[in-house]
Amino acid sequence: MKRRILIVLVFALVLSPAGPLSAQEKLTADVRTALDSIQPLEAYSYCKTLSSETFAGRLTGHEGYAAAAKWAAAKFKQWGLKPIHRESGYLQPYPSPYVVIDRAEMTLLLEEKPESAEETNVKEVRLEPEKEFLPLLFSDSGDRTGELVFVGWGISAPDLGYDDYAGVDVAGKFVLCFRGTPGRNDRRFEPHDHHRARMKTAKEKGAFGLIYIYDEIVSNPNGDWIEGFMPAEITSKVADWVLKEKDITAAELRKDLGTYKKPLTFPLRAKIHLKVEARPFPQGIGYNIVGYVEGSDAKLRQECLVIGGHFDHNGFHMGLLFPGANDNASGSAAVMEIAEAFSKLKKKPKRSVVFALFGGEEMGLQGSSHFVEHIPPPFSNVDTMFNFDMVGEGDGSGIGYSGDVPELKTIIEEADQHIGTLGRTYPIRGVGVGGSDHAPFYQKGIPVVSFHSNGPHLHYHQTGDTIYRINPDMIADVAKLAFLGAYARASR
């Protein structure tokens, strides 16, 4: 009985009309030509240009970002993509305040009491930028010395019965905390895990600044400039020096917090001296770079697929260039390669395909959020969104896809029959803090596929995220996979 059903099924599959790209079917000459236009060395050269000093780390709002946006828009024009706006062409502007940090110094002032001595000495430890500390890239200027107070996760949520600040006075001090929440899977705490929320709380409690403990330093522009507030981060190794007076390590503290899920808060005798010279630019303008190829079906062309990825990174601060080659010049290069391939098709798919390089992802998904709120005419709705973030390191790709749209997985797997790069696939069931540009689309109920490479993604948000870590074939393979997948999806 079972066997008969199986045979019927096999027949049904064999006899059913093939989709636009079934595994056995050969690609049409038109699609093959477009696919072959995706070239590893060309993708690599886009990635290299974007991560070069010329564009100063592509901090949204900064002139380096604006110059890069014009460069990409010129490519869109060269390929004959249609501009999204009649007046502003390929650039979709939106307000994007930003900060440049020119200089920063951090010194620990640690009490030392040799066993034989009566008095305590103060040992000064000057920290090394990027190796041991870094201001968050939205700090205000200032020159302050203050005691440290450890405040767990830095969350004050009395409504949830949880307050890391209960019973301590942090006014005129620096608070020290981890990133995270007391209940890892407790979504009630999620709003408190945004950097902006944590900074606001610390400022309201009167702290000079908030110091994160991270395993390694990662540059971070994801927050707002607050007058008189100086947020920064230190490594857990540095935190261990500070915590020595309590005979505990950062790793132990973190474990305790995770285990007991209760506030753990205490003042320290250790002090820090933090001096920052920063320039805020509240009038900054960010851009999404957007162009499209029009669908061939008179009705369905009002629907679009969005092929996007973030164009921005973290800028140039304190003499340090954050090139963001993998994050996300690689994804931008993939989007550009796919755009060029679609422009080469003689017969376009039924639906329109929009190519969007988003600003402000590193500042909190700002460009993509702006885009979904301002979907430009002539499009009535977004059918599907493909996102590309960090697709340059490694030797294989992976995808997350909207869990309730399993056919997206099928489409990409079928496309991969022609490419052979796809590894891990997993359903997306929710997008929390730290998602990429597919998140605002997902939250609107738009089906998404999130493409990435298998890593190792070393030097994430560090000066070491350079072009030398990029595998040209990796970007091209992801772009080819997504091109065929998008072609099938837009043709259905």
Among candidate residues 56, 130, 132, 96, the one with its CA nearest the CA of residue 314: 56
* 393 is a contact residue toward Zn ion (CB under 5 A): no
Task: Please report, in angstroms and rounded to a whole number, the separation of the first and last CA atoms in the chain.
Answer: 34
Output 435 or 447, the one with its CB closest to Zn ion: 435
Residue 322, strand partner residues: 315
**400, containing H or E segment:** strand 397-402
Closest distance between Zn ion and the C-beta of residue 359, in Å? 12
The residue range among 264-272, 279-287, 343-351, 382-390 that interacts with Zn ion, by the rule CB under 5 A, is 382-390
Helices (H) and strands (E) in the chain, counts: 12, 21
Of 218 and 405, CB closest to Zn ion:
218
Q: H or E element: which one contains 20?
A: none
Return the structure tokens found at 400.
């997350």
Indicate which single residue of 132, 164, 327, 477 sits in contact with Zn ion (rule: CB under 5 A): 327
Of residues 230 and 479, the one with the C-beta less far from Zn ion: 479
Three-state DSSP at 269 gives strand
**Residue 312 sits in the site that holds Zn ion (CB under 5 A):** no
Binding-residue pattern over the window 162 to 201 for Zn ion, x denoting contact by CB under 5 A:
----------------------------------------
Q: Which two tokens stand for residue 119?
A: 């008095």
Q: Is the bond leading into 456 cis (omega within 30 degrees of zero)?
A: yes
Q: Does 328 engage in binding with Zn ion (CB under 5 A)? A: yes
CA distance 58 to 62: 7
Q: By CB under 5 A, is residue 389 in contact with Zn ion?
A: yes
Is residue 250 a contact partner of residue 215, using CB atoms and an 8 Å limit?
no
Could you tell me which residues come within 8 angstroms of residue 396 by beta carbon, excluding any fewer than 6 positions away?
421, 422, 423, 453, 454
Specify the residue, 327 or 393, whose C-beta has the smaller distance to Zn ion. 327
Q: How far is the CB of 433 from Zn ion (least distance, A)?
A: 14
| Burial classification of residue 171, based on how many CB atoms lie within 10 Å of its CB (0-12 exposed, 13-18 middle, 19 or more buried) | exposed
CB of 328 to Zn ion, least distance (A): 4
CA distance 316 to 321: 5
Q: Which stretch binds Zn ion (CB under 5 A): 5-13, 26-34, 253-261, 321-329?
A: 321-329
Q: Which stretch binds Zn ion (CB under 5 A): 221-229, 277-285, 323-331, 438-446?
A: 323-331
Q: Which stretch binds Zn ion (CB under 5 A): 40-48, 205-213, 299-307, 381-389?
A: 381-389
Q: Which stretch binds Zn ion (CB under 5 A): 36-44, 268-276, 328-336, 484-492?
A: 328-336
Those residues whose C-beta lies under 8 Å from the C-beta of residue 335, and which sit 6 or more positions away, are: 307, 308, 309, 355, 356, 357, 388
Query: 343 or 387: whose CB is closer to Zn ion?
Result: 387
Given the complex with Zn ion, which of 349 and 360 has the nearer CB atom? Answer: 360
Residue (65 or 174) nearer to Zn ion, CB: 65
Q: Torsion over CA of 235, 238, 239 and 241, rounded to 10 degrees? A: 170
Residue 221 is given by DSSP the state: -
State which residue, 222 or 328, has the beta carbon closest to Zn ion. Answer: 328
* Stretch near Zn ion under the rule CB under 5 A, chosen from 112-120, 275-283, 285-293, 385-393: 385-393
Torsion of CA 12, 14, 17, 21, to 10 degrees: 130
- Closest CB 374 distance from Zn ion, rounded Å: 22
CB of 369 to Zn ion, least distance (A): 15
CB neighbour burial string for 83-105, b if at least 16 within 10 angstroms, e if fewer: bbeeeebbbbebebbbbbbeebb
Identify which of residues 327 and 383 has a Cβ nearer to Zn ion in the complex.
Answer: 327
In angstroms, give the least distance from the CB of 325 to Zn ion. Answer: 11
Span 401-440, contacts to Zn ion by CB under 5 A: none
Residue 176 CB, nearest distance to Zn ion (Å)?
27
Nearer to Zn ion, 409 or 452 (CB): 452
Q: Which range, of 166-174, 327-335, 471-479, 480-488, touches Zn ion by CB under 5 A?
A: 327-335
Residue whose CB is less far from Zn ion, 201 or 450: 450
Please identify, among the stretches 4-12, 13-21, 298-306, 325-333, the one whose residues bind Zn ion according to the rule CB under 5 A.
Answer: 325-333
Residue 73 CA to residue 90 CA, distance in Å, equals: 6
Sign of CA dihedral 359, 361, 363, 364: positive
CB of 326: closest distance to Zn ion in angstroms?
8
Residue 106 near residue 272 (C-beta atoms within 8 A): yes
**Which positions lie near Zn ion, rule CB under 5 A?**
327-328, 389
